[in-house]
Structure 1
Amino acid sequence: MGTSAAAQDDQVNNGGFRVEALAGWDRVDLSLDEDTDFEGNDSGIFYGAAVGYDLPAGPVMVGVEAEVSSSTTGEKETVEDFDVDGSIYDGTISLSDGFNWYLGGRLGVWASESTAFYGKVGYAWTTVDLDATGTVDGVAGSDSADLNFSGFRFGAGVEQKLSNSAYAKIEYRYTDYSEGEVEYQGDTLDFGDALEFVDLERHQVVAGVGFRF
């Protein structure tokens, strides 16, 4: 009787609301479809938080989740004597990762009372901050713009119970950004068509610790 009740408690707690703290490795790859020689990438530290809900579906894991995150990925270049419509720019141009959002679902199976394997799919949005600081024809100044990208994310992972309510997980995610726009001085310009010729992808290996309620 006691063993049966404990098993039911474990089964019930496979579902419900959950919160997570996340950290891991993040890499962004950029390449041109027509030019295999042109490619760039940058890696950094990923950090974020997530909330979700899993249905109490017995040995099957079915859930939805939402996530907010950022990372240390970015680039910074120094420019000298750069001609912009007849004006000469000297200074630095930097790209840095802003906030990233994700909304999706996951489907998996509990291989045992404490271990689950799952796949996930959803949609991701990311913001890249573009900043320029320097001089134009000798006059100091700065400017900035936001680059927004979105696309589908796919992933797979394993989750391990640490207690009746706490758990840890590790997963791999792949994101393919297919839509984009730039926001500058109150105006928005869509450049999603350009992403038909440019591959912008993200690879992440993320570990998390969470609690169910």
Structure 2
Amino acid sequence: MTKFSFFVPAVALGLAAATPAVAQDNGFQGARAEALIGFDHVSIKDFGMSGLGLGGLVGYDWQDGNIVYGFEGEVDGNTTRKTSVDQDERRAIKANLDLSAGARVGYVLSPKALVYGKAGYTVARFRSDWRDEESKGYARLVTTGFRVGAGVEYKLSDAAFVKGEVRLSHYGKDGDLEQGLWREQALAGVGIRF
């Protein structure tokens, strides 16, 4: 097991312990802030690279009976990269910053559990560096696309919660991305609702 296996539960327990006893339960409604960590995989045609995704998210939800709906914005970084050496040339490709904004709709299964789906717009940056005996250089790519996902949110207290989420992003067919570029993620999160 890696050290990250213990990160989310430890933070979740800390947030639950720090939550004031006088906090009022407003269901799944209100502003929220989250920290995210998990698996990140980027692929195009037969090329793929994987790494660790890390991010932060803020959003706001409304609740009407068992239906919850809201919007959110997210900023993610990652360790996703791939390096190759072909004869005398070395090439490194790295996924950089990923920004997204979107909406989600969920259904309350119990006073503590919410299932939801989400969709939105995403912007991602990538960088490619190369070096050989005679030259070196780099190229940057900024591309946009759409993101869909689904997840489960579970309340630890009136304010603190944890969640698990899977999502798929597709970035345009512009420039060299004739087949489009795909990103798959499986993330765990911990957050506070205000």
Q: TM-score range by the shorter chain?
A: 0.7 to 0.9
**Alignment partner of 1:200 out of 162, 171, 181:** 181
Provide the residue aligned with 2:152 in structure 1.
158
Provide the residue aligned with 2:102 in structure 1.
104
With normalisation by structure 1, the TM-score equals 0.75
Structure 1 position 60, deviation (Å): 1.1
Matches within 5 A, 1:1-213: 9-10=24-25, 12-31=26-45, 39-80=46-87, 90-136=88-134, 142-180=136-174, 191=175, 194-195=176-177, 197-213=178-194
- C-alpha separation in 1, matches of 2:65 and 2:75: 29
Aligned CA distance change for structure 1 residues 121 and 127 (closer, same or farther; 3 Å): same
Which runs of 4 or more aligned residues in structure 1 lie more than 4 Å from their structure 2 counterparts after TM superposition?
none
Structure 1 position 160, deviation (Å): 0.2
What is the Cα-based RMSD across aligned positions, in Å? Answer: 1.6
8 Å Cα contact 1:28/1:41 also seen in 2? yes
Length, aligned pairs only? 171
- C-alpha separation in 1, matches of 2:30 and 2:109: 19
8 Å Cα contact 1:13/1:165 also seen in 2? no
Q: Give 1:168's aligned amino acid.
A: V
Deviation readout 1:105-155 (Å, 9 max, x if unpaired):
10011111110000000011111111123431xxxx532221112111110
Deviation readout 1:179-201 (Å, 9 max, x if unpaired):
44xxxxxxxxxx1xx54x41421
8 Å Cα contact 2:27/2:111 also seen in 1? no
8 Å Cα contact 1:91/1:135 also seen in 2? yes
Structure 1 position 14, deviation (Å): 1.6
Partner of 1:69, secondary structure, is strand
- C-alpha separation in 2, matches of 1:173 and 1:142: 36
Partner of 2:133, secondary structure, is strand
With normalisation by structure 2, the TM-score equals 0.82
Decide which structure has the larger Cα Rg and report it. 1
Structure 1 position 29, deviation (Å): 2.0
Q: Give 1:158's aligned amino acid.
A: V
8 Å Cα contact 1:100/1:126 also seen in 2? yes
| Structure 1 residues not aligned, in runs of 5+ | 1-8, 32-38, 81-89, 181-190
- C-alpha separation in 2, matches of 1:102 and 1:179: 18
Deviation readout 1:42-91 (Å, 9 max, x if unpaired):
221111111111124332110101111122221112243xxxxxxxxx44
Partner of 1:198, secondary structure, is coil
The structure in which a higher percent of residues are strand is 1
8 Å Cα contact 1:131/1:144 also seen in 2? yes
- C-alpha separation in 2, matches of 1:179 and 1:166: 40
